[in-house]
Amino acid sequence: MSENCTGSCVPGMTKDMLVPQLAVVTEIRTETPDVKTFRVESPDGSPLFDHMPGQCAMLTLPGSGEAMFSITSSPTEKGYKEFSIKRCGQLTDALHAIEPGQEIGIRGPYGKPFPVDTEFRGQNLLFIAGGIGLAPLHSVIDYVRANRDAYGHMDILYGSRSAADLVDLEQIQNVWMKEKDTNVYLTIDRPQEGWDGHVGFVPAYLKELAFKPDCTAIICGPPIMIKFVLQALIEMGFDKTQVYTTLELKMKCGIGKCGRCNIGSKFVCKDGPVFRCDEIDELPNEY
């Protein structure tokens, strides 16, 4: 995993895993009032690193800190990485204030990806996302689209507070909805003018839609949503081994050494962030 340091600092030295590489934010798209998507590339346009869906990377804006974000873009897009980031803290505030062209630090990829090339192969897939929880699933969905024939039927259920808070709506409507053998269901929490789609919380809509438990479910969203979605899935006859989710805890190193993102003996940064729900049952309830 190591590479030589390219900076002017210590010629030939093996760069430490904690030292980021230089990257440029080439494009910033405003998705919702508090979510922006950042496209990150290496300064010379060469690939930054390879990743698999569900993996994360540490982004640094020096002076404002460093944090772990899900890589939203598909691994098949080699030239760039995208991150959909909700504004909610010190670093994300600062990121939301930058302009395209800003150089930042990036290191990764970190964590265990979704088993897209193994367990997911040939399966029908049900994606359930809430709010910014779409970000980690985005990469999986695009990867599945890029290898469409390797997977079965695809259902995507996505909900948010309001229509304006649906991340990446344009792509969902123009691309995902037109993808073959794919159904997309959108919902918002409360009725609003100009919205003729479904209104209601994700877990309730999920029950209404009554999916058959013949697929693998992949969930991400606020903890409370995950909890109720999981309950609903069990009621619908799903087994926990059919359900995957991705967790998030505070991280500093990304390599299982700084000691803070553990749930029991597992480190979210290294052994996660993707967990199968039956694996989570064996962990202490501390996430």
Contact residues for other proteins, defined by CB under 8 A: 1-2, 5, 7-10, 13-22, 60, 62-63, 65-66, 88-90, 92, 99, 101-105, 248-250, 252-253, 255, 257-265, 282, 284, 286-287
Q: Which is nearer to other proteins, 137 or 261 (CB)?
A: 261
Provide the minimum distance between the beta carbon of 141 and other proteins in the complex, in angstroms, as a whole number: 24
Q: C-beta of 15: minimal distance to other proteins in Å?
A: 6
Nearer to other proteins, 150 or 283 (CB): 283
What's the half-sphere exposure (Cβ side, CA atoms, 13 Å) at 250? 6
| Contact yes or no for 231/202 (Cβ under 8 A) | no
- Select 116 or 202, whichever has its Cβ closest to other proteins: 202
Give me the least distance between CB of 5 and other proteins, in Å please. 6
To other proteins, the closest distance from the beta carbon of 115 in angstroms equals: 22
Q: Name which of 264, 269, 257, 260 is nearest 280 in CA terms.
A: 264
User: Which tokens go with 248?
Assistant: 């998030």
CA distance 53 to 70: 9
Smallest separation (angstroms) from other proteins to the CB of 216: 26
Nearer to other proteins among residue 13 and residue 177 (C-beta): 13
Do β-strands 81-86 and 274-276 pair in parallel, antiparallel, or remain unpaired? unpaired
Taking a C-beta distance cutoff of 8 angstroms, is the pair 276, 243 a contact? yes
C-alpha 283/C-alpha 187 separation (Å) is: 32
Instruction: Give me the half-sphere count of Cα atoms (radius 13 Å) on the Cβ side of residue 58.
Output: 24
25 in helix, strand or coil? strand
In the complex, what is the shortest distance from the CB of residue 224 to other proteins, in angstroms, rounded to a whole number?
11
Cβ closer to other proteins: 80 or 185?
80
CB of 202 to other proteins, least distance (A): 18
Cβ distance to other proteins smaller for residue 87 or 276: 87
The owner of tokens 């877990």 is 203
> What is the distance between the alpha carbons of residues 34 and 8, in angstroms, rounded to a whole number?
37
Residue 8 or residue 46: which is nearer to other proteins going by CB?
8
d(CA 73, CA 93): 22
